[in-house]
Amino acid sequence: MTLRLVRREKASTRMAVLAPLLALLAAMVLNLLLFLAMGKDPAAVFHAMLLEPFSSWAGFSEVLLKMGPLLLIAQGLAIGFRAKVFNIGAEGQFILGAIFASAIPVYFPQATGAWIWPAMLVLGALGGALWAVVPAFWRVRLNANEILVTLMMSLIAIQVLNYLLLGPWKDPMGFNFPQSVMFQYDAMIPILLPGTRVNVSLLIALFSALLAWAYMQRSFGGYQFLVGGLAPKAATYAGFSEARAIWLSLLIGGFAAGLAGAAEVAGPIGQLQRSISTGYGYAAIIVAYLGGLHPVGIVASSLFMAALYIGGDNAMVSADLPVAAVRVFQGTLLVCYLAAVTFVRFRLDFGASVEGGRV
Amino acid sequence: MSAPLLSLRGMTKGYGPVKANQAIDLDVAPNSIHAILGENGAGKSTLMKLIYGVEAPDAGEVFWNGAPVHLHSPGEARRLGIGMVFQHFSLFETLTVVENISLIVAGTKATLAARIRELGRDFGLEVDPFAEVHALSVGERQRVEIIRCLMTEPKLLILDEPTSVLPPQAVGLLFETLRRLRDRGVSILFISHKLDEIQAICDRATILRAGRVTGNVDPREHDAHDLARMMIGRDMPPPLHPDPVEPGEVRLELSGLDHAPDDPFGVALQGVSLSLRAGEVLGIAGISGNGQSELSRLISGEVRLSEARRDDVRMLGQGVGHLGPGARRALGFAFVPEERLGRGAVPEMTLSDNSLLTAHGQGMLRRGFIDRVREAEFTAACIRDFDVRTPGPEAEAGALSGGNLQKFIMGREISLRPKVLFVAQPTWGVDVGAAAAIRQRLVAMRNEGVAVLVISEELEELFEVCDRIQVMHKGHLSASLDARTTRAEEIGRLMIGADGVAA
Ligand SMILES: Nc1ncnc2c1ncn2[C@@H]1O[C@H](COP(=O)(O)OP(=O)(O)OP(=O)(O)O)[C@@H](O)[C@H]1O
Ligand SMILES: [Mg+2]
């Protein structure tokens, strides 16, 4: 009996839905072994990681808080990924968004008015998009690989952040800590759910999912992205501009990441500091793929990934797990998912498929 | 009859609701060239894929030299001595010719390259072993596929429409190759829609219709008309040779176009001039790989010139050299490319979504959003008017048989009601009945005043539909010849550069 992959006649919708669940299962089994090898109690770990985030309102509200930026960034990235434009520098665009947004409270710490936080969000989104202009320009004009350029731009972004926090933007009353002043009240996004830290930016993120859905599933612009990703020659034949797809992909990705960065400093953090991002830009790549690059799938996967963040923190405390273990879990999950999606277009064939045949 | 080399019993294969093959029995004798005949979508390619182990049958048995075998993969088929050249190519585009071949055939690159050149010379299938495949024309890729197959020294050779993209001279050479192979003990399964070819070299023919065997004949004992009737179940329309109509204004004009392609293996165009009027059909003859694909990209706008050279390509009275395909379409230009999958259509998308590719201007968009109803209506009309055999607009383009996809793309472009229609290889892979329908359609378009440009390697086709013919050779385009007074030999000479057009 031989085992082999056979291409399906049609992509299987059932598998497309099942793939992330299968991936989760496989990742859990693999990590179970890892935890056992580390001498941890797997039951305690999984309880802390996967159940605790949902078992209290306080815990769950933290999940929602983390979900916002992941959802926003992943929706932006997924659009580009569908067109096979690989922006993996959302982390840098996120940081630039945070920096741009912080400019208002840093330079006008006394300013008041309801316009401040919305203006910060807009400025942040523009900052993120601006950071994506460089890789887009280089790719279109010089055919420089956007994967490398976006990644390197992230490293530059971190240095820009460091420079500002150690130099001109350092809080003079801050005991020399590398952080900006605390933002004034009007520079903070209003709270959405009283008693929690969840703010209005979650609504913005959910709204972005709606926009992404309309754009990718219903509009001609989104269709052009799909064609460009699936069959570049057909896109050229039809006259869909590749340069336009690259520019739009990177700008949308940068815009969304920048918005997320702004919402982070104007939300739960409340100042510009070095640790504004806990790898949201990279985790969002996983979120985008786990969601099948589909706007609705991404809503689910961002919720899940956010829970994993909170769960990981829990596991560190209650099950004494090292920080890296959470990253390992995320990584395994992505690898398992990439393996599982194969089955959307292929199925396993057990060789002996000829009825009545003799082997 | 001697014991068959290959026997199939009850081979059955369905794709969802489509029954591609139903209880097919087939015997291939040793030393035989065996034709498989049938309309587009009759199930020929499917049957061949079952034999070559690419697809698994739902039911049925295979006997090789009388012994039952199970073919689960092409590798197993190759080990038995079965080789196949696919209708849709299976080469890796980013690798060179010799690298592609070394994936299947053992040997160092140097020795393989030497053998590729040798086989190329012997069989008239010349190709540069170190060219990258993406730079090759469809015709050249076909040559690579055939050479690769011959290098595995098969006992049974499956050729799925090998001649649809070969020029007549190469077909002659290929047939000689096939005869020599047969005399050396190789059996050949041969699929073609060209009945004269089948009569020329095949000693058996199995006819398929809608997935079933409807006849087994000796093709030499029947004339082409009989065979066509058995295949499509009705009489063939007679060839057209339409009367000329009074041509109108010039709609497409190239004057002394020079172009050096970015691709190092591409063909440079030198001083290409043509002028196409409303109400005429101009044909471009030539062996593929002589600059046709470069020319077609320049005319379609897939390759653009600088703003300064905009007048090198004039369309509908306007310099368009600098415009992209979208802008040219907006003027009234439509184009069917030689590559169907991946260029003319996106294989993973439904036919409906493939309509959107070029027909989005037909009321399918509302403020940037897709009108799914309009899209499906247009597609359904295309399927109906051009007799595309498929379950419906929701079928994926990649699941259509070769000829049916070609009919769909032709239909889509014609439905755009263009002022200039440009078609590369209009009937490539299309069965005789449908080919006649497509040619009629082209002539009807001309009569309505459309300017039609056709690139084809089939001289007969060009003589049938064209008013004038120009021949492409090594990047040069000959002067225009009247299709009604020029003899085929003359064009044949120009095609191989014997008249010294290629300075
Ligand atoms: N992968 C697939 N998925 C679904 N349907 C398929 C697939 N491959 C083939 N079919 C269907 O099976 C039928 C037979 O197709 P096949 O490719 O064997 O035809 P063919 O005789 O080779 O035609 P042509 O002369 O056009 O190449 C067609 O109706 C086609 O739509
Ligand atoms: Mg076929």
Q: Residues A96, A201: one domain?
A: yes
Name the least confident of A140-149, B377-386, B480-489.
B480-489
Check A357 against B342: CB less than 8 A apart. no
Give per-residue pLDDT as tens, A312-345.
888 888 877 887 887 788 788 888 888 888 777 7
Contact indicator for B206, B215 with CB cutoff of 8 Å: yes
Distance CA A271, CA A183 (A): 6
B41 Cα to the center of ligand 2, angstroms: 7
pLDDT for position A354: 36
Check A220 against B368: CB less than 8 A apart. yes
The closest ligand to the CA of B395 turns out to be: 1
Instruction: Tell me the mean pLDDT in the region B151-156.
Output: 89
Residue of B nearest to A230 (CA): B346
Contact indicator for B364, B378 with CB cutoff of 8 Å: yes
Q: Residues A35, A170: one domain?
A: no
3-state secondary structure of B377: helix
Give the orientation angle of helix A201-213 with respect to helix A242-264, to 10 degrees: 160
A4 and chain B: CB distance < 8 Å anywhere? yes
* Chain A closest-CA separation from residue B408 CA (Å): 15
Q: Which residue has the higher pLDDT, A346 or A135?
A: A135
A contacts of B327 (beta carbons < 8 Å): 239
Q: Residues A9, A134: one domain?
A: no
pLDDT of residue A229 exceeding 80: yes
Distance CA B395, CA A226 (A): 18
pLDDT of residue B382 exceeding 80: yes
Q: Which residue has the higher pLDDT, B300 or A357?
A: B300
The atom number, within ligand 1, closest to the CA of A9 reads 3
Residue A195 within a domain? yes
Contact indicator for B430, B373 with CB cutoff of 8 Å: no
pLDDT of residue A358 exceeding 50: no
Lookup: tokens for A102: 């912080």
pLDDT for position A195: 85
A contacts of B304 (beta carbons < 8 Å): none
Contact indicator for B263, B133 with CB cutoff of 8 Å: no
What band does B421 get if pLDDT is binned at 50, 70 and 90?
Answer: very high
| Backbone Cα Rg of chain B | 23
Q: Residues A78, A206: one domain?
A: yes
Boundaries of domain holding A351: 1-40+323-359
A215 and chain B: CB distance < 8 Å anywhere? no
The atom number, within ligand 1, closest to the CA of B21 reads 14
* Chain A closest-CA separation from residue B318 CA (Å): 19
Residue of A nearest to B72 (CA): A351
Check B300 against A237: CB less than 8 A apart. yes
Scan for tokens 């030689």, then name that residue. B338
Lookup: tokens for B215: 């006849």
Name the residue of B11, B22, B46 to mutate for ligand 1: max ligand atoms within 8 A of Cβ: B46
Residue A351 within a domain? yes
Give per-residue pLDDT as tens, B225-264.
788 888 777 766 666 667 778 888 999 999 999 998 887 7
> Which ipTM was obtained for this model?
0.81
Total domains in the fold of chain A: 2
Lookup: tokens for A129: 């998009």
pLDDT of residue A356 exceeding 70: no
Contact indicator for B205, B37 with CB cutoff of 8 Å: yes
Give the H/E segment covering residue B34: strand B33-38
A contacts of B57 (beta carbons < 8 Å): 353-354
C-alpha distances (whole Å) from B473 to each of A338, B267, B289, B469 are 48, 10, 9, 13
Lookup: tokens for B20: 């591609």
pLDDT for position A277: 77
Name the least confident of A65-79, B120-134, B469-483.
B120-134
Nearest protein CA to atom 29 of ligand 1, as residue: B41
B45 Cα to the center of ligand 2, angstroms: 4
pLDDT for position A357: 32
Give per-residue pLDDT as tens, A3-51.
666 666 566 777 778 888 888 889 889 988 888 888 888 888 888 888 8
Residue A211 within a domain? yes
Give per-residue pLDDT as tens, B290-320.
899 899 999 999 999 999 999 999 999 999 9
Sequence-separated (6 or more) residues with CB below 8 Å from residue A9: B15, B16, B396, B399
Ordered domains of chain B (ranges, CATH) = 6-232 (3.40.50.300), 248-332+420-503 (3.40.50.300), 343-417 (no CATH)
Distance CA B357, CA B120 (A): 38
Distance CA A344, CA A220 (A): 25
Check B300 against A240: CB less than 8 A apart. no
Q: Residues A21, A79: one domain?
A: no
C-alpha distances (whole Å) from A203 to each of A56, A124, A144, A147, A293 are 22, 17, 36, 30, 20
Q: Residues A77, A31: one domain?
A: no
* Chain A closest-CA separation from residue B443 CA (Å): 25
Residue A301 within a domain? no
Distance CA B79, CA B153 (A): 11
3-state helix, strand, coil in chain B (%, to 5): 35, 25, 40
Check A359 against B70: CB less than 8 A apart. yes
B contacts of A231 (beta carbons < 8 Å): 342-343, 346-348
Name the residue of B11, B12, B13, B15 to mutate for ligand 1: max ligand atoms within 8 A of Cβ: B15
C-alpha distances (whole Å) from B66 to each of A23, A293, B9, B31, B188 are 46, 51, 12, 16, 18
Give the orientation angle of helix A146-166 with respect to helix A116-142, to 10 degrees: 140
Q: Residues A210, A83: one domain?
A: yes
Query: How many other C-beta atoms are found inside a 10 Å radius of the C-beta of residue B200?
Result: 15
Contact indicator for A116, A253 with CB cutoff of 8 Å: no
Residue A317 within a domain? no
Check A227 against B369: CB less than 8 A apart. no
Nearest protein CA to atom 10 of ligand 1, as residue: B399
Query: How many other C-beta atoms are found inside a 10 Å radius of the C-beta of residue B126?
Result: 15
The alpha helices in B56-209, defined as continuous H runs, are 74-80, 97-102, 109-123, 138-151, 168-183, 195-201
Give per-residue pLDDT as tens, B168-181.
667 787 888 888 88
A143 and chain B: CB distance < 8 Å anywhere? no
Size of interface A-B (CB pairs under 8 A): 99
Lookup: tokens for A277: 């991002």
For the purposes of burial, counting CB atoms within 10 Å of the CB of A184, is it exposed (0-12), middle (13-18) or buried (19 or more)? middle
Residue A318 within a domain? no
The closest ligand to the CA of B207 turns out to be: 1
Contact indicator for B69, B62 with CB cutoff of 8 Å: yes
B70, B346, B360 ranked by CB distance to A231: nearest: B346
pLDDT of residue B59 exceeding 70: yes
Q: Residues A82, A163: one domain?
A: yes
Mean pLDDT, chain B, rounded, equals 88
The DSSP secondary structure of B181-236, one letter per residue, reads HHHTT-EEEEE-S-HHHHHHH-SEEEEEETTEEEEEE-GGGS-HHHHHHHHHSSPP
pLDDT of residue B196 exceeding 90: no
Distance CA B295, CA B269 (A): 7
Name the residue of B45, B189, B404, B428 to mutate for ligand 1: max ligand atoms within 8 A of Cβ: B45
pLDDT for position A213: 95
Percent of the residues in chain A that have a pLDDT greater than 90, as a whole number: 52
Q: Residues A123, A264: one domain?
A: yes
Distance CA A4, CA A15 (A): 17
* Chain A closest-CA separation from residue B325 CA (Å): 5
Check B70 against A357: CB less than 8 A apart. yes
C-alpha distances (whole Å) from A3 to each of A309, B72, B239 are 38, 10, 51
The alpha helices in B332-448, defined as continuous H runs, are 351-359, 372-385, 402-414, 432-447
The closest ligand to the CA of B401 turns out to be: 1
Check A354 against B70: CB less than 8 A apart. yes
Query: How many other C-beta atoms are found inside a 10 Å radius of the C-beta of residue A41?
Result: 13
Q: Residues A99, A200: one domain?
A: yes
Lookup: tokens for A192: 């959405």
Angle at A156 between CA A155 and CA A158, to 5 degrees: 70
B contacts of A349 (beta carbons < 8 Å): 56, 72
The atom number, within ligand 1, closest to the CA of B406 reads 26
B156 Cα to the center of ligand 2, angstroms: 18
Give per-residue pLDDT as tens, A237-275.
999 999 999 999 999 999 999 999 999 999 999 899 988
**Residues with beta carbon inside 6 Å of ligand 1?**
A 9; B 15, 18, 20, 38, 40-46, 87, 389-390, 399-404, 429, 431
How far is C-alpha B165 from the geometric centre of its chain's CA atoms?
5
A351 and chain B: CB distance < 8 Å anywhere? yes
B contacts of A219 (beta carbons < 8 Å): 368-370
Residue A96 within a domain? yes
- Chain B residues with CB-CB distance to A under 8 A? 15-16, 55-61, 68, 70, 72-73, 300-302, 324-329, 335, 337, 339, 342-349, 353, 356-358, 360, 365, 368-370, 396, 399
B342, B365, B368 ranked by CB distance to A234: nearest: B342
Q: Residues A31, A76: one domain?
A: no
Lookup: tokens for B353: 């979504």
Distance CA A143, CA A85 (A): 12
Residue A84 within a domain? yes
* Chain B closest-CA separation from residue A233 CA (Å): 5
Q: Residues A131, A270: one domain?
A: yes
Name the least confident of A285-299, B70-84, B153-167, B423-437.
B153-167
* Chain B closest-CA separation from residue A332 CA (Å): 29
Distance CA A253, CA A288 (A): 12
Nearest in space to A104 (alpha carbons), one of A89, A118, A112, A116 = A116
Name the least confident of A55-59, A72-76, A312-316, B18-22.
A312-316
Paired strand residues for B470: B284
Check A357 against B345: CB less than 8 A apart. no
The atom number, within ligand 1, closest to the CA of B404 reads 26
A209 and chain B: CB distance < 8 Å anywhere? no
* Chain A closest-CA separation from residue B491 CA (Å): 30
